[in-house]
Structure 1
Amino acid sequence: MTTLSLSDRLKLDLRHRLRPMSGRNPDDPHRTVTPLELLYDLTYVIAFAAAADELAHALFIGEVGAGVGAYLFAIFGVSWAWLNFTWFSSAYDNDDALVRVAVVVQMVGVVIFIFGLPVSFEDAAHGASPNNMLLVAGYIVMRVPLIALWLRAAREDPARRRTSIAYAVVIAVAQVGWLLTTIPGIPTGAVITALAVLATAELIAPLVIERRYGRVPWNAGHIAERFGLLTLITLGEVIAGTVAAVGALVGEQGWSVAAVAIVAAGLVIAAGLWWAYYLIPSRTILLRWPERIWGWRYVHLPLFGAIAAVGAGLHVAAEGVEHQELSLLQITLALAVPVTCVVILVFLIWSVLMRSMDFTHVPLFLSNLVPLVAAVVIAAVVDAGAPIDLEPGGDLTALVTVIGLVSLSCVIEVVGHELVGYSHTLRAAKRHLLEPEIEARRAHQSSIDP
């Protein structure tokens, strides 16, 4: 291994002129996230937060179906653009001037996309498509620099030229498709169908490309760190959003039991979900079995949206307490549903990563869901269909109870993984390590048996 001199090291750190884009080492165990990637991630988390704010507003005014639909559309656009660049940067990021400029242009696209979100949610509320020209313009600006980067990689890494060109062509064709969906006069149903087809095609394309033309040199450990850090930053936005929402509540009404319960729940839920997520040994397992990365990465797309939606649920709870226009059941569902989704997705990520779906892990999973189901049942029983009443003798006790139960599910998730999940993960990993040896013995035995 070559050791760089101090002068060469400083030139690499401080001078960002054009550098060869020949591909990174996919087996480098010390590959880490760069400051440029972290800056890039922050912009996308702001987009998650903006979408969550729009979702919270839609839930508060009763536009649940339209709000959830527009939110899912927004989260897919943001998450997919982020994932595509993360895939490229893991394989080819050389941190030169052109790469840095391309990243900044993509960040501009994210900002444009954010400005299109209010229109998207409003259109969806009126029965129209959540797609709009401003949203698509932002999405295209996020994606076009990646086309140029893939074409550059095709030129400078001849061994993987066909794979890089295929990525560039697929992205370019997809952008034309997204743009065509904004043509005025197309029925809403046709637009939504076209968007679903485009999204499905974009999800499938990377699998087909790398199986047919070969893999680009992405680093499994680096990708695991990138996904983990975006998850972490998104959880940070949950805390920030909770503090902002409760701050507005306290500024209006002063501190109350309900306000304390909501802010405490935000902290406990965020910490619990963080703890549970990082109990999944993603980097260790993916470095050993990099082929498992495909299913693992796709499950993260809804996970990012579910985590941001937890922040939206806490925001709805604060708004519901402040204005007392929502029922107890509405507030409970806004909190319990996204937390349930995160719990399920964390379990699914573990299962996909470990390729273990046996029943010894199911009791732990079900125990996570019990407090969430109990919270909804209590809210449904207590709720009289009227707005929440926080006066003495009203719904305050029930509200604190359901908030506590939702938080408890995250605590059970952590404790369960620490006590049970740890040993189960070890057993699953050891079983997979032994499988090749067992198969070899069977093959040898078959060859010598008459």
Structure 2
Amino acid sequence: MSGRVPGSVTPLELFYDLTYVIAFAVAADELAHAITEGEVGAGLGAYAFAIFGVTWAWLNFTWFSSAYGNDDALFRVATVVQMVGVVIFSFGLPVSFADTAHGGSPNNALLVVGYVIMRVPLVVLWLRAAREDPEHRRTSTAYAVTISVAQVGWVLTTLPGLPTGATIAALVLLAAAELVAPVVIERRFGRAPWDPGHIAERFGLLTLITLGEVVAATVAAVGVLVRDTGWSVAAVVIAASGLVIAAGLWWAYYLVPARTILTRWPTRTFPWRHAHLPLFGAVAAVGAGLRVAADGVEHEVLSLLQITLALAVPVAIVIVLVFLLWSLLVRSFDLTHLPLFVGTLVPIAAAVVIAAVVDPHTPIHLADGANLAALVTVIALVSLSCVVEVVGHEKVGYSHTLRAVKRNLRP
């Protein structure tokens, strides 16, 4: 482990990422169930905790593998062990959501066991890198120590008798410390030999996998709806909208030339990578919103406004974060982007307004023609926002990106 030769993603890394499809799907399912049951606040809290745990462990593995992933037997075994941790963590998610719904902490012993298994192999790998790469020994050792201390903290949050408020405060402090630690380590001891081009590819692929979860959620939700009630206008609209949203978000994300920019300016990687933590959660939540839409239509227990918000909010967050990623990478403020940004969000705002005007409280009944027309309209409007995002970036935004990058390249 003397520093990885820059290159593309390995089959082992792709195999590792597959476990995250499971984790994202379980978290999205639990969020959808919580929203359907009216436990929105508790569900969002448990979901945020779940997404942080999963994505932060993934990010740490990616950081190490980009620097020292030599794909030998020890590295492979350590990676598979981490995959086991992801699966165990996923088993703890239903308990986390249930406890949170009853006023408890989102943390539980099963989650922590899974999380520790996801992290401890990295301690061994960082120590190995410290031994075999003297040039970056202090950085690697600092990572190993920081991860070890963090795991002790996570274990302590599961001690019996701790008040829920104190536990949640401790979890927030631990998460904040974990986010700050890598920045401090690499500023103080020097950068680990990670490859910014590889980092960009890895983050892009996990975004792609998460978008695949949106497609899977669409198929699953519509499949259940069709099986129980047969094909209907609502089922067709949900299926078509799910695919349009997934394709639009994929298109918009890859319009930002992350690999090119990060390879040229590696220091921009830290803020860019941190912005992906909410992005992964928001993309997976789009799948949850589609499940909520199907459940609301099938069981007629949710109002049109609740269905609209469940889908519109995560889509809006993803769109905002795509613009944020652009700004973090390009480091340029372009006033002409503001009309594009506003124009992208207008269909979403219109969908929410329509849903609020139709009836914000009464459960939706598709036998009512007005309700059916309103449902089709609001879901189509949310999908339209993704289309506006893509067309706007293709016609306007991308040329601005090229101009901004050229300005940065000037001496």
Same fold (TM over 0.5): yes
The letter for the 1-side match of 2:140 is S
How far apart are 1:362 and its partner, in Å?
1.2
Secondary structure at the aligned position of 1:426 is classed as: helix
Counterpart Cα distance in 2 of 1:384 and 1:342: 24
Q: Does 1:409 align with 2:385?
A: yes
Counterpart Cα distance in 1 of 2:110 and 2:255: 39
The letter for the 1-side match of 2:85 is G
How far apart are 1:126 and its partner, in Å?
0.7
The letter for the 2-side match of 1:259 is A
Q: Aligned residues: percent identity?
A: 76
The letter for the 2-side match of 1:273 is L
The letter for the 1-side match of 2:219 is V
Q: Does 1:157 align with 2:133?
A: yes
Give the TM-score normalised by structure 2.
0.99
Q: Does 1:370 align with 2:350?
A: no
The CA deviation string for residues 277-322 of structure 1, in whole angstroms up to 9 with x for no partner, is 0000000111111111011100001100000000000000000111
What residue in structure 2 maps to residue 201 of structure 1?
Answer: 177
Q: Are the equivalent residues in 2 in contact too, given 1:45–1:230 (CA < 8 A)?
A: no
Counterpart Cα distance in 1 of 2:22 and 2:327: 29
Secondary structure at the aligned position of 2:302 is classed as: coil
Unaligned regions of 5+ residues in structure 2, if any? none
Secondary structure at the aligned position of 2:336 is classed as: helix
What residue in structure 2 maps to residue 13 of structure 1?
Answer: none
> Alignment partner for residue 156 of structure 2, among 180, 188, 210?
180
Moved more, 353-362 or 87-96: 353-362
Taking the TM superposition and a 5 Å limit, the aligned residue runs for 1:349-360 are 349-360=325-336
The CA deviation string for residues 106-165 of structure 1, in whole angstroms up to 9 with x for no partner, is 000001000000110001001111000000000000000000000000011111111000
Q: Are the equivalent residues in 2 in contact too, given 1:23–1:217 (CA < 8 A)?
A: yes
Q: Does 1:400 align with 2:380?
A: no
Counterpart Cα distance in 2 of 1:426 and 1:225: 20
How far apart are 1:358 and its partner, in Å?
3.1
RMSD: 0.8
Q: Does 1:387 align with 2:387?
A: no
The letter for the 2-side match of 1:183 is L
Matched residues, number: 411
What residue in structure 1 maps to residue 118 of structure 2?
Answer: 142
Unaligned regions of 5+ residues in structure 1, if any? 1-20, 438-450
Counterpart Cα distance in 2 of 1:387 and 1:206: 47
How far apart are 1:384 and its partner, in Å?
5.2
Secondary structure at the aligned position of 1:388 is classed as: coil
Q: Does 1:224 align with 2:208?
A: no
What residue in structure 1 maps to residue 79 of structure 2?
Answer: 103
Q: Are the equivalent residues in 2 in contact too, given 1:109–1:138 (CA < 8 A)?
A: yes
Counterpart Cα distance in 2 of 1:161 and 1:390: 64
The structure whose Rg is larger is 1
| Superposed structure 1 runs of 4+ greater than 6 Å apart | none
The letter for the 2-side match of 1:213 is F
> Alignment partner for residue 421 of structure 1, among 389, 392, 397?
397
Q: Are the equivalent residues in 2 in contact too, given 1:102–1:145 (CA < 8 A)?
A: yes
Q: Does 1:22 align with 2:2?
A: yes
Indicate how the Cα distance of structure 1 residues 238 and 384 shifts in structure 2: closer, same or farther if over 3 A, else same: closer
What residue in structure 2 maps to residue 66 of structure 1?
Answer: 42
Secondary structure at the aligned position of 1:359 is classed as: coil
Q: Are the equivalent residues in 1 in contact too, given 2:222–2:238 (CA < 8 A)?
A: yes
Counterpart Cα distance in 1 of 2:291 and 2:124: 40
Q: Does 1:75 align with 2:55?
A: no
The letter for the 2-side match of 1:416 is G
The letter for the 2-side match of 1:355 is R
What residue in structure 2 maps to residue 320 of structure 1?
Answer: 296
Counterpart Cα distance in 1 of 2:23 and 2:332: 34
How far apart are 1:45 and its partner, in Å?
2.2
What residue in structure 1 maps to residue 68 of structure 2?
Answer: 92
What residue in structure 1 maps to residue 261 of structure 2?
Answer: 285
Counterpart Cα distance in 1 of 2:382 and 2:237: 11
Q: Are the equivalent residues in 1 in contact too, given 2:306–2:360 (CA < 8 A)?
A: no
Indicate how the Cα distance of structure 1 residues 227 and 394 shifts in structure 2: closer, same or farther if over 3 A, else same: same
Counterpart Cα distance in 1 of 2:368 and 2:205: 44
How far apart are 1:276 and its partner, in Å?
0.2
Give the TM-score normalised by structure 1.
0.91
The CA deviation string for residues 360-414 of structure 1, in whole angstroms up to 9 with x for no partner, is 2111111110000000000000015211010143400000000000000000000
Counterpart Cα distance in 2 of 1:216 and 1:351: 25
> Alignment partner for residue 187 of structure 2, among 211, 216, 227?
211
